[in-house]
Amino acid sequence: MTLTLKVPDIACSACVSAVTDAITSVDSSATVEADPKTKIVNVQTQQSEDKIKQVLADAGYPPA
């Protein structure tokens, strides 16, 4: 499934890397695109939306 999440705490490319690593740690086949300007994260994943939101929150980037 494809998720579009707003993650306000993404501020730079290091944040993008952290978010991407967090998601791929639970779904190695996930595709993550995150934009520090819009704070939008697009995720293609086999995991549930709840799982991805939980992972992001645990990584310090809670979705809005």
Which residue in 12, 28, 50, 64 binds Cu ion (CB under 5 A)? 12
Q: Which is nearer to Cu ion, 15 or 47 (CB)?
A: 15
Place of tokens 């690593």: 21
Residue 39 vs residues 14, 28, 29, 46, 56: alpha-carbon distances, Å: 13, 22, 22, 22, 13
Which residue in 6, 8, 14, 31 binds Cu ion (CB under 5 A)? 14
11 near Cu ion (CB under 5 A): yes
Q: Under the rule (CB under 5 A), what is the footprint of Cu ion?
A: 11-12, 14-15
